[in-house]
């Protein structure tokens, strides 16, 4: 049995409002049926008629009420049965009853037939049961297909008109021919039948419209849930890409520098150059400390410790540490021992301090990535870092006199070669485009020139 606290499951395709309206209509129909049967019974029992007739009316009225009550209780608890087996086994109906789709099952037809037959017998005994025809009309209109239900309603209307006039309990045919028929005997059942048909078809239309609106609402909720999930998935992908760029431009480049310098230090020790090895170990220690600070701040708020002060100071320090890391490689790379990296700033330093944080961070990341590539791959002896601040934009130039490379091949390179992740230029492009900037890259045998431009006072793209 269902717990009293367990919420009742709504029928498929029906809202709370629809279920409430159905319940009110159902209760109203039951009350009307019970009242009219009781009225007919009392009116007959109070009339001057033989006791046998009174007994028959009482028994038939109880039978009519009992069969009607049994059917409504059965349907309310288990649903309308589709076959006799469900009636006797009391199996719950597997699907809601729809006469337009399933037709009229045999148990439903037998139930309607019994109710109609008992009503006809009561009508033959007393015309006081005429008005019971109205709830029976609603039963036919609800349980039968539209065309059959209308024909059955019209037939019930004819019987409700004819039996009180010419039936055994009516005035008789001779009296009707002699005195005529009062308009109320014709207008009452006819208007009742027409009203029942109109109400039934209006109710069907409203029910279908409510079900349609409910299905649309459910689809809308499903689409909204799908959009939320897609946005969540897209947000995760975008966040992963952003984190990949941050890690590549900070920790990965720093660790790559440490690996290169540590290999150079190992060779210096093998050659017996302890002074050179000590210098290289100092650079490794400094780089490791910087990367540790990067990692801690990265975990804390994903910002760069290099930007704790101004962008100009951060870039100056980056140029210095880049030169030291490159020279620490010694003879392991051509031109490393005499490598020089300079920084030039053109503009107002106070204005540089007021740059939007996302622009300043992007400039710093691009500079880190570009100089890391210079150290790892260019074999250059000189590199120049220039920051130019204009009223409407900020420009970063990174130049070197290295061996150059093919930008197209570098962007398409897979991370299969040691030291070549194939991600740096792609990440730089994505970072620049996210802020509405532009990136220009030229490279050849005479060196490489990278220019990155960011517009100021521009919101980051969604």
250 — pLDDT class (breaks 50, 70, 90): low
* Contact (Cβ atoms closer than 8 angstroms) between residue 130 and residue 160: yes
pLDDT of residue 178: 57
418 — pLDDT class (breaks 50, 70, 90): very low
pLDDT of residue 420: 46
pLDDT of residue 91: 67
Asked whether the CA dihedral 372, 374, 378, 381 is positive or negative, the reply is negative
Q: pLDDT tens digits, residue range 60-76?
A: 999 999 999 988 888 77
Quote the tokens at residue 460: 């980051």
pTM over 0.85: no
342 — pLDDT class (breaks 50, 70, 90): very high
Share of the chain above pLDDT 70, in %: 76
Q: Report the alpha-carbon distance of residue 405 to residue 424 in Å, rounded.
A: 14
DSSP string, 239-250: HHHHHHHHHIII
Q: pLDDT tens digits, residue range 344-368?
A: 999 888 888 888 888 888 898 889 8
Where is pLDDT greater, at 161 or 291?
161
* Contact (Cβ atoms closer than 8 angstroms) between residue 300 and residue 288: no
Domain boundaries, the chain: 16-181, 227-455
The mean pLDDT value of the chain amounts to: 79
Q: Report the alpha-carbon distance of residue 314 to residue 320 in Å, rounded.
A: 10
416 — pLDDT class (breaks 50, 70, 90): very low
Q: pLDDT tens digits, residue range 377-409?
A: 888 889 999 999 998 999 999 999 988 888 776
Among the listed residues 218, 216, 261, the one whose alpha carbon sits nearest the alpha carbon of residue 372: 261
* Mean pLDDT across 117-145: 89
The domain made up of 227-455 has a fold known as: Heat Shock Protein 90 (3.30.565)
Q: Report the alpha-carbon distance of residue 57 to residue 131 in Å, rounded.
A: 16
pLDDT of residue 20: 75
Residue 138, classified by CB atoms within 10 Å of its CB into exposed (0-12), middle (13-18) or buried (19+), is buried
């Amino acid at each position: 049995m269902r717990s009293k606290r367990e919420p009742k499951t709504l029928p498929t395709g029906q809202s709370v409002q629809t279920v409430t309206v159905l319940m009110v209509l159902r209760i109203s129909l039951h009350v009307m049926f019970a009242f009219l049967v009781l009225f007919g019974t009392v009116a007959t029992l109070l009339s001057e008629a033989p006791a046998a007739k009174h007994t028959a009316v009482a028994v038939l009225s109880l039978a009519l009420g009992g069969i009607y009550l049994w059917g409504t209780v059965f349907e309310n608890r288990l649903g309308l049965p589709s076959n006799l087996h469900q009636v006797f086994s009391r199996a719950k109906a597997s699907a809601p009853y729809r006469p337009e789709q399933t037709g009229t099952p045999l148990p439903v037809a037998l139930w309607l037939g019994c109710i109609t037959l008992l009503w006809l017998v009561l009508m033959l005994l007393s015309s006081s049961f005429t008005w019971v025809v109205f709830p029976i009309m609603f039963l036919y209109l609800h349980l039968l297909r539209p065309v059959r239900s209308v024909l059955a309603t019209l037939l019930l209307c004819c019987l409700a008109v004819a039996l009180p006039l010419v039936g055994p309990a009516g005035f008789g045919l001779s009296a009707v021919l002699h005195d005529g028929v009062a308009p109320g005997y014709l207008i009452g059942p006819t208007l009742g039948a027409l009203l029942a048909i109109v109400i039934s078809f209006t109710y069907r239309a409203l029910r279908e419209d409510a079900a349609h609106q409910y299905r649309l609402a459910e689809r809308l909720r499903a689409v909204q849930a799908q959009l939320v999930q897609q946005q969540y998935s897209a947000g995760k992908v975008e966040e992963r890409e952003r984190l990949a760029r941050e890690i590549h431009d900070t920790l990965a480049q720093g660790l790559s520098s440490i690996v290169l310098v540590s290999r150079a230090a190992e060779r210096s020790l093998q050659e017996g150059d302890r002074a050179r090895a000590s210098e290289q170990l100092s650079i490794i220690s400094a780089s490791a400390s910087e990367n540790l600070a990067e990692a801690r701040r990265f975990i804390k708020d994903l910002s760069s410790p290099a930007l704790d002060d101004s962008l100009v100071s951060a870039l100056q320090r980056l140029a210095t540490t880049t030169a030291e890391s490159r020279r620490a490689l010694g003879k392991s790379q051509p031109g490393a021992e005499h490598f020089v990296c300079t920084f030039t700033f053109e503009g107002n330093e106070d204005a540089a301090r007021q740059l939007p944080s996302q622009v300043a961070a992007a400039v710093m990341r691009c500079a880190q990535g570009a100089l890391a590539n210079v150290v790892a791959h260019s074999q250059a002896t000189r590199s120049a870092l220039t920051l130019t601040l204009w009223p409407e934009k900020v420009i970063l130039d990174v130049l070197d006199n290295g061996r150059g490379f093919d930008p197209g091949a570098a962007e398409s390179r897979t991370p299969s070669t040691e030291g070549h992740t194939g991600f740096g230029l792609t990440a730089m492009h994505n970072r620049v485009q996210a802020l509405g900037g532009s990136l220009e890259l030229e490279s050849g045998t005479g060196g490489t020139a990278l220019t990155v431009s960011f517009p100021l006072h521009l919101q980051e793209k969604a």
